[in-house]
């Protein structure tokens, strides 16, 4: 099918059929990418005698790994979008310049993170909430990951460029390769080789190294790539790199904001619940990620459908696509919530073998995830505004949940309710963000209906 026909089907094909076609690969990709961290935590939490403290150590490192991911988004999404725009203008050489300078930026930033991160690792982790009990575990886990930043950014960040080159299935395949290798290596390194938490880090770095080798092979040797990585295109070009950073700045800022939230949460958890509370939050975050990642995939599938039809003036199809994605997200999240509430120990015991940690996690999870059935409203609203090119509204709605409401809730509510207040900060912040999102998005959808009605009269 030609590119033109592929685009035309967005305006004519059944919306439900399009959502399935576009969302399933995206959901698979998001779930596979999630497996890197979740599988690590499952194995780490079950290390004999130290599982509870070990997973708490991993929880402490979460803001650091989020910042590394933020740089992956800055370069990866920026390079991917810039290549797509260059292809749209039929500027093949410019696309290669973006790819080459994306690799150059990756090399420079990776070296800086690896060196500065390891030099200041102890100070950073203490700042982020590590205690004398959890600091050794956190350091043991984070040092190999910092040294392997370059493979992380290649495997996660520049893999986006394979998608912009017109090969989304190969891009998904890259993530599947890395995740499967990580799943195989984790028990081998942690238990068989007796490396413990450090083994989990080594497994992650090695799996990312193999995935990054595949990305480099694709852009240097593969016949499937329409652009090639050359030394000439890697020559440092400030305007090109600046352009990459400008495009990738929005997701970078949101990811850094998420890291800041994690630091504040760890501080509150340490103050009101101690080391085990931080470990509990690491498990709760892992469990919620399992159920939320498919919604991100659903949103990725809905984006091109909404964007194309909005641009083409097919506002009724825009409205239906948004509502279908909202209904689907709400059904999936409600089913996930019911499972968590009904079988909390099944979910928690995957990540942990410590009875004390299990109890604090179960009680915290039942409170922290109370708003899960309705957060689809906020998530799909943010996605809608991204799809129609209203980036500022998309960012405000995204940050309303992660930053604007959650940070004050973490700082204020625990002062009155202690640890219970930390757990309740999540659903209270979510509810406020959902209220704001509902007012904004349903007004927008209502106006779409009016505009469509006017245009057909």
pLDDT at 3: 44
Taking 50 as the pLDDT cut, the residues of the chain under it are 1-4, 6, 457
Residue at token pair 């509810």: 431
pLDDT at 179: 86
pLDDT at 241: 94
**Residue in 171, 160, 25, 142 with CA at minimum distance from that of residue 98:** 160
Long-range contacts of 363-367 (CB under 8 A, 24+ apart): 363/423, 364/277, 364/280, 364/281, 364/284, 364/419, 364/422, 364/423, 365/280, 365/283, 365/284, 365/287, 365/340, 366/340, 366/341, 367/420, 367/423, 367/424, 367/426, 367/427
pLDDT at 38: 84
Cα–Cα distances (Å) from 362 to 56, 281, 358, in that order, read 15, 10, 6
Note the pLDDT tens digit of each residue in 230-251.
Answer: 999 999 999 999 988 987 887 7
Residue 434 tokens read as 């959902």
pLDDT at 175: 79
**Residue in 216, 242, 239, 238 with CA at minimum distance from that of residue 229:** 216
Phi, psi of 342 (to 5 degrees): -85, -40
List CB contacts of 424: < 8 A, sequence separation 6 or more. 367, 368, 409, 413, 417
């Amino acid at each position: 099918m030609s590119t033109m026909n592929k685009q035309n089907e967005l305006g004519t094909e059944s919306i439900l059929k399009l959502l399935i076609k576009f969302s399933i690969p995206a959901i698979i990709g998001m779930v596979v990418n999630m497996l890197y961290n979740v599988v690590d935590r499952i194995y780490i939490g079950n290390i004999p005698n130290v599982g509870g403290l070990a997973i708490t150590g991993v929880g402490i490192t979460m803001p650091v790994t989020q910042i590394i991911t933020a740089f992956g988004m800055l370069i990866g999404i920026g390079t991917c979008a810039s290549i797509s725009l260059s292809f749209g203008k039929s500027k093949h050489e410019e696309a290669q310049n973006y790819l080459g300078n994306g690799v150059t930026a990756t090399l420079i930033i990776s070296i800086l993170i690896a060196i500065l991160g390891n030099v200041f690792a102890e100070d950073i982790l203490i700042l982020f909430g590590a205690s004398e009990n959890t600091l050794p575990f956190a350091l043991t886990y984070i040092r190999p990951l910092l040294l392997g930043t370059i493979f992380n950014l290649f495997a996660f960040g520049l893999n986006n460029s394979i998608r912009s080159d017109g090969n989304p299935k190969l891009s998904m395949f890259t993530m599947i390769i890395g995740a499967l290798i990580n799943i195989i290596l984790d028990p081998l390194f942690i238990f068989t080789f007796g490396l413990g938490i450090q083994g989990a880090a080594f497994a992650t770095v090695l799996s990312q190294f193999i995935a990054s080798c595949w990305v480099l092979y694709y852009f240097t040797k593969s016949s499937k790539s329409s652009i090639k990585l050359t030394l000439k295109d890697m020559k440092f070009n400030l305007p090109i790199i600046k352009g990459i950073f400008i495009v990738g700045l929005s997701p970078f800022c949101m990811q850094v904001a998420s890291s800041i939230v994690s630091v504040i949460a760890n501080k509150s958890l340490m103050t009101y619940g101690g080391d085990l509370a931080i470990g509990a939050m690491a498990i709760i975050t892992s469990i919620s990620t399992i159920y939320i990642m498919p919604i991100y995939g659903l949103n990725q599938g809905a984006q091109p459908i909404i964007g194309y039809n909005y641009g083409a003036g097919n506002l009724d199809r825009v409205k239906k696509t948004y509502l279908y994605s909202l209904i689907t997200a709400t059904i999936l999240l409600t089913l996930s919530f019911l499972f968590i509430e009904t079988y909390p120990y099944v979910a928690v015991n995957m990540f942990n073998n410590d009875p004390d940690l299990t109890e604090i996690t179960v009680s915290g999870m039942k409170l922290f995830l109370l708003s899960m059935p309705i957060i689809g409203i906020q998530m799909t609203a943010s996605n809608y505004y991204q799809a129609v090119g209203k980036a500022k509204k998309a960012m405000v709605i995204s940050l309303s949940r992660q930053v604007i409401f959650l940070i004050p809730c973490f700082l204020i509510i625990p002062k009155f309710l202690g640890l219970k207040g930390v757990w309740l900060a999540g659903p209270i912040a979510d509810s406020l963000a959902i209220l704001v999102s509902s007012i904004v998005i349903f007004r927008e959808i209502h106006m779409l209906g009016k505009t469509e009605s006017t245009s057909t009269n």
